[in-house]
Chains A and B, each alone.
Chain A
């Protein structure tokens, strides 16, 4: 394994005359809150996309923005977009940089617009159960402020400590308790955003005429607008939480148990079914051994799987992942975790009725320990990708969604497509009445060095997404599209791409908003 190539600021592309003029104008508008410094441009050139981290290791700098701006309020966001439009410079909205699809890479340079100074959270309206919050507020801060008033948003992505409300809206984020509270789009009453025209729009609350404008803006990943503020639905903080876990002999049996629970009208807050190897990793540490079991796919891959594989087999063996995948097939049982929360009596009733259904579906009751363990460590996501990359490996996660009739087919096809390229495991979560999300975790290496690893990584995504699409899944459930999945989204949409193009013409006629993302 070769040593990482050193990065040098001189590797950054120089600022164009246009960018220099825009930077000067911005500096006069927002003194002290504009930067063209190399370290800032470098910092804002990427999010947590593993491929960008691999590039850095190779000494390649992801395309950086020319300028970084930290507006203080909505009006300054609007002025920045208007200025960018006048200069025909791209605008790349930036939340906290936790995206994993290359959504903030400045493929054509431009202005990186960091929203984090827009962080106001108004007091909860306790009659209507809403809160108004600025787009730059960090998820954990927002939740903490709601908790202090006796409320919860119910949105708990693993990235809650390093993601913003605006980022959630831009990428249609999902939290771990989505089965009860929904995804972020289910929590929005109305939005405020600055479009690529430089106009401020506010989406109306119900009742309103015409299509739901908020649904046309959410998920646009900065390609149509910059979100500045949202009115969100909040819930009274739960009185009680009830936990339960079950073991199943197969993925099929576990998926059927979840389906029955959801179709029966029960609404657990958390539903997570781990496939056999994922289960083996989750259960590798005995409950309460050190108060820590890895909770998420990304955390498992980086915190457990890679070190485990590193000890078990040399990274070289991951160059032939078929063998490792076959060995993983020796594992059989699957762990299902359920959690209910809300009013005490209802949470306990639902937990009891779910237990009956899960046992009838062939589950062995494991008590509440494994689910409690998961809950305690639910944010232990590892973002320590660099040591993994330095070890000559890459890890990534891939989340799709499908209806119940297709879920198992998606699982089998994606695993089969990925098997020659990466070690693969999966958990099923974010369950709904009609289907659920499948969250695949991959670990891959290549004996051919970093360039070969990058090629393998691209091949893996291409094969995985093609298999998911062929089996009827959507290309993303909650990570979004970015640069990574734009071709797959185009394939999924087919001719309907024209609708998105029409939206773009209407709201960003000059094409300045986050170019290159969402659709190629």
Chain B
């Protein structure tokens, strides 16, 4: 194993660091990244996990891979390398009146590769209360070192989804190099409205029905107040879209016994100069339970099934990997028998 570390150091020079029991590789190009993978594979190493006999863990940074382009303005897509953060991509997209769309604060700070491969699974909300990957197509390196590239098409019936091996895959079935991203028109207006609803279950029913009806809500903040639920919704889009979205959600809120409110939420906006709070993926039932127990939350990436939450709601921690199902483990083992891309910790 020491051969591996020597060769990595020789190949990468200052872009190889060993500290705190971990070897960190920061290739400056795709070519160097492929070389790192080859060396790891050839030496029986395991990326992202401790090596055999307690050998140090080898981690890989794709931060140097941050090229953006070409842009396709007709389809609203851009090819982005895995090391660019969503925030950087969004900033570059602004000049074309495009955006990556509403995300949660933590996700917005992530590198694209980590957002797509990690617990967020690269998902964002789209009209109709659904989730959909930010990526339209991906290019990855497979465990054997060859490239896998999916075709950029809005939908397909060309076999199982190739992208699904990589999205949420933690880099275990292949390592993402770049992705073609679907961007949406940058909102020209936004609006905040506060509503009061009689119960947590009425709140959940109104939101679910509003989302199914096509309302796009960028963010919700919610807390109990005087035996009711106070909810602040942020809408963003074109003026007409904001009006439509407000009308659909507003109708559902009225149907559930809710009303517009002039109260203010106690829960403060997180300070912009501090790291965003921890986020969890939650189901609506958990949000309702938290409200019943006096908890409050900020909710992002809304779908009919749930949301990404900051606050006192139980759900899946989005800062850590969780164990996979046996079927997924079997697929990973078939694709990467030596687990060079990182097996179970």
Contact = CB atoms under 8 A, between A and B. Distances in A.
The answer to whether A and B belong to the same complex is yes
Interface of A: 127-129, 171-174, 178, 180-183, 185-186, 189, 195, 199, 201, 204-213, 215-221, 224, 233, 235-236, 259, 263-265, 267, 342-343, 345-346, 349-350, 353, 401-405, 430, 432-437, 472-481, 485, 489, 492-496, 498-500, 502-503, 505-507, 518-519
B15 to A, nearest CB: 27
B168 A492 contact: no
Nearest to B201: A127
A213 B212 contact: no
Contacts of A182: 128, 130
A479 B331 contact: no
10 contacts: A181-B128, A207-B281, A211-B164, A403-B77, A433-B154, A434-B154, A434-B182, A473-B151, A496-B147, A507-B331
B256 to A, nearest CB: 12
Contacts of B76: 263, 433-434
B174 A499 contact: yes
Given A212-B121, A219-B160, A435-B75, A492 B328 contact: no
B328 to A, nearest CB: 5
B317 to A, nearest CB: 10
A426 B239 CA distance: 36
B157 A265 contact: no
Given A212-B167, A434-B77, A499 B251 contact: no
Contact of B75 (A199, A342, A404): A404
Given A209-B119, A433-B184, A502-B334, A476 B158 contact: yes
Contact of A403 (B128, B129, B136, B216): B136
Closest 10 interchain pairs by CB? A215-B164, A209-B322, A432-B154, A496-B148, A207-B281, A506-B334, A502-B335, A474-B153, A172-B157, A207-B316
Contacts of B84: none
A304 B177 CA distance: 49
A456 to B, nearest CB: 25
B173 interface: yes
A192 to B, nearest CB: 12
B75 A403 contact: yes
B214 interface: yes
B315 interface: yes
B24 interface: no
B327 interface: yes
B281 A206 contact: yes
A503 B247 CA distance: 46
B345 to A, nearest CB: 13
Nearest to A509: B334
Contacts of A199: 327
A205 B282 CA distance: 12
B164 to A, nearest CB: 4
Contact of B282 (A207, A213, A404, A505): A207
B283 interface: yes
Name which of A171, A233, A265, A498 has the most chain B CB atoms within 10 A of its CB.
A265
A343 B154 contact: no
Interface in B303-339: 303-306, 315-316, 321-325, 327-328, 330-331, 333-335
A209 B323 contact: yes
Contacts of A181: 128
A207 B315 contact: yes
Nearest to B121: A212
Interface in B143-165: 144, 146-165
B162 A496 contact: yes
B51 interface: no
B241 A499 contact: no
Given A433-B184, A477-B156, A204 B331 contact: no
Contacts of A127: 204-205, 208
B325 A204 contact: yes
B157 A478 contact: yes
A295 to B, nearest CB: 20
B276 interface: no
A434 B238 contact: no
Contacts of A492: 151, 158
Nearest to A220: B160
B154 A209 contact: no
A217 B164 CA distance: 10
Contact of B213 (A201, A207, A346): A346
A403 B153 contact: yes
B201 to A, nearest CB: 8
A518 B159 CA distance: 7
B127 interface: yes
Interface in B184-202: 184-185
Contact of A213 (B144, B184, B213, B328): B328
Given A213-B325, A265-B127, A432 B159 contact: no
Contact of B155 (A206, A235, A401): A401
A495 B147 contact: yes
Contacts of A220: 159-160
B177 to A, nearest CB: 13
Contacts of B153: 401-403, 435, 473-474, 477
Nearest to B211: A129
Contact of B154 (A212, A217, A403, A493): A403
A437 B154 CA distance: 8
A267 B127 contact: yes
B159 A211 contact: no
A496 B150 contact: yes
B190 to A, nearest CB: 14
B302 interface: no
Contacts of A472: 151-152
Name which of B157, B167, B170, B248 has the most chain A CB atoms within 10 A of its CB.
B157
Interface string B206-248: 0011001110100000000000000000000110110010011
A173 B157 CA distance: 7
Nearest to A182: B130
B115 interface: no
Nearest to A478: B157
Contacts of B184: 265, 433
Name which of B149, B153, B167 has the most chain A CB atoms within 10 A of its CB.
B153
A207 B330 contact: no
Given A182-B130, A207-B316, A492-B158, A507 B327 contact: yes
